[in-house]
Amino acid sequence: MLSTSDLLAHTLAETDFHPRLPQQRRLYEAAKAAIHKQQLGAGSKLPSSRDLARDLGISRNTVIAAFEQLAAEGYVHSELGSGTYVSDLQAHSASMRGVGSAPHTPRAAAPRSTAASVPLSRRGQALTSFAAGPRFEIQPFAPGDADFSSFPFKLWQRLQNRVWREARADLLDYGQSGGYLPLRQAITEYLRISRSVKVQVEQVMITSGTQQSLDLCAQLLADVGDTAWVEDPCYWGARRVFEARELKLHPITVDSDGMALEEADLATTPKLIYVTPSHQYPTGAVMSLKRRRELLEVAVRKQAWILEDDYDSEFRYTGRPLAALQGLDNDDRVLYMGTFSKVLYPGIKIGYLVVPPALINGFKSALYDLQRPGQLMVQAALADFIALGHFTTHIRKIRQTYGARRELLRRTLVHQLGAQLAQTVTISSEESGLHLVVELPDRVDDVALEKLAAESGIQVKALSTYYLAPPVRRGLLVGYAYCTPEKIAYYGRLLAAVIQSGVR
C-alpha cells in the first residue's frame, strides 16, 4: 500500500492534474481528492509538514498552506503534540443532521441527475429542440460566421488598457442611460452617414446584441398570443426569441424582392413585423423600394411595429451599402437594430437598437431593469476604436478579404459543377453578406446533402430548414468568411462533389 507521501506524489506527477494551479493549491486538491476517494481514510495520520515537504521536493511553507486550507474546510484536524489527522466526514455529516433525529437508515444512492433526465417545461422543450449551438460551430463554409482571426488584437488591447488606466469608477457600474454616451454618439454618426438612418443619440440603446434587441422588442411591444409577421424562410434566432415570448408566428413568403404580402397575410393583424430588408437572411434577397413603402404603409394602418434587423449591412462588395428601411419611415413605426459581432468578433456581445422617440423612456428603463447591461469598459474601448478611425479601416480591410473569398468560392463551385449542371443549380450572385446560396432543384433533398457534406467536414445549412411553412425552395447556405483561400479551393471541390451526387 502506498504511503501518504507516495500517494500524493503520484497524483501531483500527473501532467493533467490542475497544471495551471499554484503548487500549494495542487497539493490541497490532491489531498482532498484522496480523502473523498477514501484513499486516506478517517483517522489517517498525515506526515509532518517537514517530512512531506522533503518527500515531495517542495517548500515547507507550501505544505503548511495546503494543510491550513484543508483544516479550514474540515478535511483534517490537528491534535496538539500528536499531529494532523484526516477527519471523519461521515460522522460530521451525521452530527449536522442534529441530535435527536431519527436513526439513519442506509439506502441506495439516488441516481445523479443529468440534463436529459431533468424534465423541462413545455416551452423549454420547444426552445431546445433546435439545438442551434452545436450546429453552428466554426467549420469550413459555416454560414454567418466572420473571420475574427483578422481582428486587430494588439490595437484593441492598447485601447482597453488605456481605459483601465483611467480608473473611472462610473465605468464599473451597470449603466443606467442606455449605454456609454460616447459610444452611442459614435454609433449615431455612423448610422447617419453609412445607413441613412434618421436618429438622435437619445434613440440609441446599447444591447448585448441582436438577440437581446429582439427580446426587448418582443417583451415591450407585444403580449402573449399576439401575432408577429416573419419572413419565410426566417432567421432562426428571431424565430426562437418570438417563440420564447409565446407570440404567434405568421410566415410571409420571401421572393427576389423581399417579403411578399398577399391578401391572406393582410387579413391578419400583427403587433410585430420582423424583416431583414437590406440582405434577407437566409436567401440574400434585397427588398425593393416598392415593397418597403408598402410595408411601411401597412405598419401604419395596422399600428404594427417593424423590427429591422440590419445584421450585415457592412458587407456589400460593389457600390455603396443600401439605405436602411428606417430612413424611409415618416411615422416612427420602425425599430432598427445592428450588431458588432459580425464586424469585430462574436464574443464582444455589443449591439445597438434605435427606437422611435415615443419609446425611448420605456426601453431605457426596461434595458436597465430587466437586463443590467454593464460592460461599460468594453463600450468605452469600442467608442475610441470608432472615433479614432480604426473601425472604418477594419471594415474596409475585411470587406476586401470577404469579397475576394466570395468570388473564389463562386468560381470554384461553377468550375467544379460544370456546364451540365448549369441549368439545374443556381449560385446566388448578390455581392453582399457572409454566405451565398446554392439553389437546388425541388426534387433534391437538401437536408440529406447537408448531412453528407458534414461527413466531409463541411458545415453547410439546408435552406429548407429555415422555413416555417412547407419549403418552396431547396438549397444550401455556404459561408465563406471564416475560410482561407486554400480551404475554399479544397473544400469547394468536396462540396461540388456532394452537390453533384445529390442532383444526379
CA distances from 287 to 158, 192, 230, 284 (A): 41, 20, 14, 10
User: By residue range, what is the domain housing residue 333?
Assistant: 151-388
Q: Are residues 400 and 464 in the same domain?
A: yes
- CATH number (domain holding residue 435): 3.90.1150.10
- Asked whether residue 101 is assigned to any structural domain, the reply reads no
Q: What is the pLDDT of residues 354-406, one digit of tens each?
A: 999 999 999 999 998 888 887 899 999 999 999 999 999 999 999 999 999 99
At 327, list the grid cell.
430612413
pLDDT of the residue at 107: 43
pLDDT of the residue at 134: 47
- Asked whether residue 99 is assigned to any structural domain, the reply reads no
Q: What type of residue is 500?
A: Q
* Mean pLDDT, all residues of the chain: 87
Q: What is the pLDDT of residues 449-465, one digit of tens each?
A: 999 998 888 989 999 99
Q: Is the pLDDT of residue 204 over 80?
A: yes
User: Which of 92, 109, 141 is where one domain is finished?
Assistant: 92
d(CA 390, CA 108): 63
Q: Are residues 346 and 279 in the same domain?
A: yes
d(CA 365, CA 312): 28
Q: Is the pLDDT of residue 117 over 60?
A: no
- CATH number (domain holding residue 58): 1.10.10.10
What are the φ and ψ backbone dihedral angles of 288, each rounded to 5 degrees?
-70, 160
- Asked whether residue 112 is assigned to any structural domain, the reply reads no
pLDDT of the residue at 21: 82
Q: Are residues 179 and 323 in the same domain?
A: yes
d(CA 359, CA 22): 52
Mean pLDDT of 254-262: 95
- Closest to 458 in 3D by CA, of 421, 497, 428: 497
Q: Are residues 219 and 315 in the same domain?
A: yes
- Asked whether residue 97 is assigned to any structural domain, the reply reads no
The pTM for the full model equals 0.75
Residues of the chain with pLDDT > 70: what percent? 91
- Asked whether residue 221 is assigned to any structural domain, the reply reads yes
Q: Are residues 354 and 421 in the same domain?
A: no
d(CA 257, CA 268): 22
Residues of the chain with pLDDT > 90: what percent? 59
Q: Is the pLDDT of residue 447 over 80?
A: yes
Q: Mind giving me the DSSP string for 237-262? A: HHHHHHHHTTPEEEEEEEETTEE---
- CATH number (domain holding residue 255): 3.40.640.10
Element (H, E) at 83: strand 83-86
User: Which of 388, 423, 440 is where one domain is finished?
Assistant: 388
Least confident of 54-58, 116-120, 186-190, 231-235: 116-120
Q: Is the pLDDT of residue 273 over 60?
A: yes
pLDDT of the residue at 131: 54
Q: Are residues 357 and 455 in the same domain?
A: no
Q: How is residue 368 annotated by DSSP?
A: I
Q: Are residues 348 and 205 in the same domain?
A: yes
* Count of domains observed in the chain: 3
Mean pLDDT of 95-116: 45
User: Which of 373, 388, 403 is where one domain is finished?
Assistant: 388
Q: Are residues 279 and 426 in the same domain?
A: no
Sign of CA dihedral 490, 492, 498, 504: negative
- Asked whether residue 141 is assigned to any structural domain, the reply reads no
Q: Are residues 225 and 295 in the same domain?
A: yes
Q: Are residues 266 and 370 in the same domain?
A: yes
Q: Are residues 373 and 415 in the same domain?
A: no
- Asked whether residue 466 is assigned to any structural domain, the reply reads yes
Q: Are residues 183 and 317 in the same domain?
A: yes
- Walk across the sheet containing 435-440 and list its strands: 426-427, 435-440, 474-479, 461-462
